[in-house]
Structure 1
């Protein structure tokens, strides 16, 4: 690999070169694979190193699938079973029994949209939040960019989301063509890649912060499991934001950085509801801030986490 130019103080020659006295002082070039040097930038993403270890990243993504579904009966069918069962229960409890409105969207389609989006964020966060503890044995034996582990979690969950998204597209076409419901995508569907990216950044950022803190305070691991369930009800998953009539509570829900993303996701694909420009812009800002803060804390803690894990 290429390395930054450093200077050999003994010979006065660039690093990677050394003076050969038997060769009339001519410089002989030496090649090496890596250079050990201090990490001085706590916001460094180590993009170059991550790219060099991209094969390991793909292997870890594959490992997540194989290890999770290898000894299951239904295997990858759980990708479909989980959101379908959740949608059925939400439809029965919240739409039929509680009578909560869905902005004119068929209830199964409305709940499936929120479910697959929320599951992607929640799994990125929960699995990243324990990455130090779950992989302590690997981190202590061999060197590789530590960011590889949380990135593999985000990518493996993205594959799972993609499969569930196909289920959503199939249901959308069913209600559009077979049922003749007035639901269809609009121009805001073009924001879909940005929405998924921002959800991934938020899940990664919050997960990096929590995994760094749980390295020292183990109680946070229990708080994450409990808190992620409560956070779903503070996000417009089972209700649209338009049903909140009280201005104070509506403002509180808008401050949830996922509100703008999920509402835009629904509005873009279903053409029902409303695009909240402030909520979406707020989500963009929070996603970037959380990611930078997570990288800062992660880079600071990874130097000595093996001593305390």
Structure 2
């Protein structure tokens, strides 16, 4: 796409600010084009908050209520009834740390996976970089993560001042890196599923169910150290979200199996999945209007 162009028809020169041309490279995020449409991305982020909470009674308070209720449920079921040990930290802050991380990943993945279906009417009427839609989802969920992260910090600060059951360290500075890795992983997986759901819409329901099951294959309700020596531990470690959750817990709670090699694997897997998702997304967006 070029910014200016002109042609002559019947002796009259006409100019356009932009010319839409076919995409020639599948592995192309077109970052410069996305930057020119940054105002649209900001508008879409704002739309998410307005449309989701404009007619609710509690509004943005649901950002706090949902993880808090989920955490209390986990404490009762897995902590008290099932008796799953956390390895030291109190159950409340242990489960809240995992839920805070998982909510960002699952919400971004689920919403990105249905971006073609949910916005088909817009895509068919006006041109804009299609990647602005999933990108706006990633950014809007960062804001949501920030709100829920503040809830976690409040609970974490309470236990930190109360005693010495948690032991934070300097690895907490890796939190922005973990957030980027989750965003890239969810964006890549979401683009793959969004391309598939243009033809097979029931995959959206399968994905929602699959994400719920994936949570149990991620150390959200149990510490990874409890699986040492188990024959299936390799499958848990193969999940790119596992090192992210373990690093987050190790940084803020002082428990977890943190290794740079694990985090490096998660980074490589996230970038690889993003590359595959970009190729599939760019290929499908050319003809998705005919199938969605």
Short-chain TM bin: over 0.9
- Measured after TM superposition, the shift of residue 17 of structure 1 is 8.8
State the SS of the aligned residue for 1:248: coil
Flag the structure with larger Rg: 1
1:91: which partner in 2?
A: 75
Alignment of 1:1-309 (within 5 A): 3=3, 32-177=16-161, 179-309=162-292
Question: Once the two structures are superposed, what CA deviation does each residue of 1:10-36 show, in whole Å capped at 9, x if it has no partner?
Answer: xxxxx6598xx9xxxxxxx98631123
Structure 2 Cα separation of the partners of residues 90 and 182 of structure 1: 19
> Which has the bigger relative contact order, CA under 8 A and spacing at least 6?
2
Question: Once the two structures are superposed, what CA deviation does each residue of 1:261-308 show, in whole Å capped at 9, x if it has no partner?
Answer: 000011011112231333212111110001011011000000010011
Q: Tell me the TM-score normalized by structure 2.
A: 0.94
Between the two proteins, the alignment pairs up a number of residues equal to: 289
1:12: which partner in 2?
A: none
Question: Once the two structures are superposed, what CA deviation does each residue of 1:167-221 show, in whole Å capped at 9, x if it has no partner?
Answer: 11111110011x2133232121121111100000111100000010111122311
Q: Tell me the TM-score normalized by structure 1.
A: 0.89
Contact 1:49–1:145, Cα closer than 8 Å, also in 2? yes
CA-based RMSD of the aligned residues comes to 1.8
5+ residue gaps in structure 1? 5-14, 22-28
Contact 1:3–1:35, Cα closer than 8 Å, also in 2? yes
Contact 1:255–1:279, Cα closer than 8 Å, also in 2? no
- Measured after TM superposition, the shift of residue 48 of structure 1 is 1.4
Structure 2 Cα separation of the partners of residues 115 and 297 of structure 1: 30
- Measured after TM superposition, the shift of residue 116 of structure 1 is 0.9
Structure 1 Cα separation of the partners of residues 278 and 171 of structure 2: 30
Structure 2 Cα separation of the partners of residues 219 and 82 of structure 1: 26
Structure 2 Cα separation of the partners of residues 30 and 69 of structure 1: 45
Contact 1:263–1:276, Cα closer than 8 Å, also in 2? no
Contact 1:201–1:288, Cα closer than 8 Å, also in 2? yes
Contact 1:87–1:108, Cα closer than 8 Å, also in 2? yes
Deviant stretches of 4+, over 4 Å: 1-4, 15-18
- Measured after TM superposition, the shift of residue 160 of structure 1 is 0.5
